[in-house]
Amino acid sequence: MRRPSIILSLLIVALVSVALPRPAVGAPAPTLAVPTALSMTQSGGADALAAGSWIASTKIDLHMQVTVSAGAVTPQVEVEPVGTAFTNTVTAQGTSVSATGSAVVPVPDLRDGTAYHWQARVADDAGNTSPWVSFSPSGTDFGADLTSPAKPIVTSPSNPKSNGWYHNRVITVGWSSTDSASGIAGYTYALQRGKPHGIKAGKISTATGARLSNMADGVWYLVVRAQDHAGNWSANGFFRMQLDRKPARIIWLTPPSTFDPYDGPTSFKFTVSEPAQVRLKMYRVGTKTPVQTFHFKSVQPNHDVTVTWLGKRGKSPLPRGYYFFAATAVDHAHNLTHVNVGGIRLNPIPPTLGPDGIRLYPNGGKEILVVLSQQTLYAYNGTHLDLKTYVTTGNPSLPTPVGTYSVMAKYHPYEMISPWPVGSPYYYAPSWMSYAMLFRDGGYFLHDAPWRSAFGPGTNGPGQPGTNYGGSHGCVNIPPAAMTYLWNWTPMGTRVLVVN
């Protein structure tokens, strides 16, 4: 019979059921302590970052204090871009800890230019978790910024053109830069003379401009770098400043003299010590209105400038008196020079008619008159005609210049050397002459011409210079006998008047 066996089995099951404890229905899971003292450091760093800090890294370490009552807990965080709400999803976790104390969660793969907020909790091995706790109630907890700020732009309202020259004593400069992520924290700058070179990262200031003074003349550079809130540095921004406070000097080269406007134009010469724009206003002493103004847009040093003056208003001579120039010069740095220069006594004396109907301008001294239309030279001592001779002047391509000159040098003998190269239609072989007198810069002489047998009207034609009927190269060719007399008759400085 099997009945006793069935009864025994049921008895054993009943005893076992009585011995096993029964779980309590609806018992709560263990509650883990919320992490406290949340903080942040750069990856591997020790110094805590303030809320809103930016780092130049794709990694950050998030710290917390955890309480462990049994077993071990694992620190966990959720890190989201600012503007993205928390979903209570774990995005990173650290190493489990088995004792109350600090825990850290390394967070990699941060995106450049992105701001984040984060919250933390702990979890045990059974899957129980603490409530989430945020690092800060709202706003940016930290950000990643790996991009350098833009190179600073430097400007100057006082010296706006970096390639211009200025003469001011104080220079005002300003600068700015941009950074799309963490923003600009400040700037460092340096003033360098001569050639520019970059500057190293240094102490920053929030200043965005400066007033520079006590700078010597020359070329200077202001070098500026910007730093953003993540510690990134910009490239060097340069601004050139060129200073010149030394005004140009006007150097007058013509001594005071007396001038008769009936004689024809007179001339003055000057130069400057450095490149400048020059304006000359001629005044008669005792008057406030200039009689004439001369303007030269660009005068270079060591380059003589000639000013030609007629001494007339229209066809009438100006009043007798003493005249001078009020000169101004403005150089490349806008330095202004103002000085009175020159000096000439105007003494108009109407001409008289001499022999052969020639207009004479008696001045009590000797004068050589060359009349181009007559191809004739006259030598006057006051109003007395001492010499008259036919001559040959320049051909149409190389004319003898009209004007009032003076004998500058006398030679006996003299070798004339061609200023034109071989092959030029104006070239001539070296030529000797007995007497020569220089009367104008540029090689214009009164001289004998042994190679010529014809003088006078018709000998200054367009033919080859040096032939009987081809004019000269611009000199005045004189027959030998007349030139011998003239050379001995003429003192240095004798006026030479060339008229049509």
* Residue 351: per-residue pLDDT: 72
- pLDDT(406) > 80: yes
- pLDDT(475) > 90: yes
Q: Which of 18-27, 171-180, 334-343, 478-487 has the lowest mean pLDDT?
A: 18-27
Is residue 405 assigned to a domain? yes
Is residue 226 assigned to a domain? yes
Domain shared by 287 and 323, yes or no: yes
**Looking at 323, 346, 369, which one is the last position of a domain?**
346
Is residue 386 assigned to a domain? yes
Domain boundaries, position 225:
153-243
- Residue 434, domain CATH: 2.40.440.10
* Residue 11: per-residue pLDDT: 29
Domain shared by 196 and 263, yes or no: no
Q: Environment class of residue 150 by beta-carbon count within 10 Å: exposed (0-12), middle (13-18) or buried (19+)? A: middle
**Looking at 100, 120, 144, which one is the last position of a domain?**
144
Q: Which of 3-17, 52-66, 465-479 has the lowest mean pLDDT?
A: 3-17
* Residue 358: per-residue pLDDT: 60
- pLDDT(22) > 50: no
**Looking at 322, 346, 370, which one is the last position of a domain?**
346
- Residue 316, domain CATH: 2.60.40.2550
Domain shared by 490 and 409, yes or no: yes
Domain shared by 337 and 300, yes or no: yes
- Whether pTM exceeds 0.75: no
**Distances from the Cα of 97 to the Cαs of 32, 130, 291, in angstroms?**
13, 15, 103
Is residue 29 assigned to a domain? no
Domain shared by 398 and 266, yes or no: no
Domain shared by 371 and 412, yes or no: yes
Domain shared by 362 and 479, yes or no: yes
Sheet hosting strand 476-478, strand order edge to edge: 409-411, 436-440, 444-448, 476-478
Note whether 175 and 152 are within 8 A (CB).
yes
State the Cα torsion 233-47-183-120 to the nearest 10°: 140
Q: Which of 162-171, 220-229, 380-389, 427-436 has the lowest mean pLDDT?
A: 380-389
What is the count of structural domains for the chain?
A: 4
For all residues of the chain together, what is the average pLDDT? 90
* Residue 432: per-residue pLDDT: 93
* Residue 14: per-residue pLDDT: 36
* Residue 361: per-residue pLDDT: 54
* Residue 362: per-residue pLDDT: 53
Is residue 173 assigned to a domain? yes
Give the mean model confidence (pLDDT) for residues 40-66.
96
Domain shared by 258 and 370, yes or no: no
Domain shared by 308 and 388, yes or no: no
The greatest distance separating any two alpha carbons of the chain, rounded to the nearest whole angstrom, comes to 187
Give the mean model confidence (pLDDT) for residues 46-52.
94
- Per the DSSP assignment, residues forming a β-bridge with 499 are 371
Domain shared by 488 and 378, yes or no: yes
Is residue 116 assigned to a domain? yes
Is residue 8 assigned to a domain? no
3-class DSSP string for the chain: CCHHHHHHHHHHHHHHHHHCCCCCCCCCCCCCCCCEEEEEEECCCCCECCCCEEECCCCEEEEEEECCCCCCEEEEEEEEECCCCCCCCCCEECCCECCCEEEEEEECCCCCCEEEEEEEEEEECCCCECCCEECCCCCCCEEECCCCCCCCEEECCCCCCCCCEECCCCEEEEEECCCCCCCEEEEEEEEEECCCCCCCCCCCECCCEEEECCCCCEEEEEEEEEEECCCCECCCEEEEEEECCCCCCEEECCCCEEECHHHCCEEEEEEECCCEEEEEEEEECCCCCCCEEEEEEEECCCCCEEEEECCEECCEECCCEEEEEEEEEEECCCCEEEEEEEEEEECCCCCEECHHHCEECCCCCEEEEEECCCCEEEEEECCEEEEEEECECECCCCCCCCEEEECCEEECCEEECCCCCCCCCCCCCCEEECCEEEEECCCEEEEECCCCCCCCCCCCEECCCCCCCECECCCEEECHHHHHHHHHHCCCCCEEEEEC
- pLDDT(348) > 60: yes
Domain shared by 381 and 493, yes or no: yes
- Residue 225, domain CATH: 2.60.40.10
Is residue 395 assigned to a domain? yes
Domain shared by 370 and 482, yes or no: yes
Closest CA to 189 of 243, 234, 242: 234
- pLDDT(85) > 70: yes
Q: Which of 79-83, 138-142, 369-373 has the lowest mean pLDDT?
A: 138-142
